[in-house]
């Protein structure tokens, strides 16, 4: 499948887009960004320099991924998900001089395989979101999220576990009641939360 880039999108010639990538209206992809095959970037997304986005990701409208972010394969990012990349940002030095691009300390963030981040969530830098984890809409994530965890709130807190299909796990079943898959030990260890 060929790459599709909407005429209003701005894609750096130094960015790497794999086969089947779909780039919609007014997306901005900076230099040295990498986007994996069959990933969809919705309207108004910003993919900063050096960001790595895996294959088969669905990135909804208005998502901002800043330098230092890695998005693994199969990730869903809801509308207006925002990342950060500096724990101590300042526009100027104490003497009033402007900071330049090399004056910021980029702190990496990793969003794991198959994870889902709900609309309007904010991810502070320096965290890892686990495999198939789910972050509820509007959450502010300030700490690592384990594999298969369900988190929500401001700041986000662990409230349960989800199957790889996305269904909430209640109790200690051996199989997901929604899809029938055998549940991982990581998911089951979190499933006693309300």
Residues 6+ apart with CB under 8 A from 186: 130, 146, 147, 148
How high is the pLDDT of residue 172?
Answer: 78
What pLDDT, in 10s, does the model give residues 60-87? 999 999 999 999 999 999 999 999 999 9
Per the CB < 8 A criterion, the answer to whether 134 and 152 are in contact is no
How high is the pLDDT of residue 114?
Answer: 98
What pLDDT, in 10s, does the model give residues 103-121? 989 999 999 999 999 999 9
β-sheet with 109-111: strand ranges across: 16-17, 34-35, 52-53, 69-71, 109-111, 128-129
Percent over 70 (pLDDT), the chain:
98
Per the CB < 8 A criterion, the answer to whether 160 and 128 are in contact is no
Lowest mean per-residue pLDDT among 129-143, 148-162, 174-188: 174-188
Q: How far apart are the C-alpha atoms of 43 and 22, rounded to whole Å?
A: 10
Mean residue pLDDT across the chain:
94
Residue 194 has pLDDT above 80, yes or no: no
Per the CB < 8 A criterion, the answer to whether 30 and 9 are in contact is no
Q: If we measure between CA atoms, which residue out of 44, 42, 43, 40 comes closest to residue 54?
A: 40
Instruction: Assign 45 a pLDDT band (cuts: 50, 70, 90).
Output: very high
- Assess whether the previous peptide bond of 155 is cis (omega < 30° from 0): yes
How high is the pLDDT of residue 170?
Answer: 82
């Amino acid at each position: 499948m060929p790459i599709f880039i909407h005429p209003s999108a701005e894609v750096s010639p130094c960015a790497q887009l794999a086969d089947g990538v779909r780039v919609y209206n007014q997306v901005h992809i900076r230099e040295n960004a990498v986007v994996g095959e069959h990933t969809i970037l919705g309207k108004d997304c910003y993919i900063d320099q050096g960001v790595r986005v895996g294959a088969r990701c669905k990135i909804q409208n208005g998502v901002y991924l800043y330098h230092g972010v890695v998005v693994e394969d199969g990730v869903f990012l809801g509308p207006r998900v925002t990342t950060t990349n500096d724990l101590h940002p300042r526009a100027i030095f104490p003497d009033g001089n402007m900071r330049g691009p090399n004056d910021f300390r980029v702190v990496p963030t990793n969003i794991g395989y198959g994870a889902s981040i709900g609309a309007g969530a904010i991810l502070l830098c320096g965290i890892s979101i686990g495999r198939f984890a789910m972050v509820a809409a509007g959450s502010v994530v300030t700490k690592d999220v384990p594999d298969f965890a369900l988190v929500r709130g401001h700041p986000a807190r662990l409230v349960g576990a989800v199957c790889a299909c996305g269904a909430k796990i209640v109790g200690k079943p051996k199989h997901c009641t929604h899809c029938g898959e055998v549940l991982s030990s990581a998911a089951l260890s979190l499933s006693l939360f309300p």
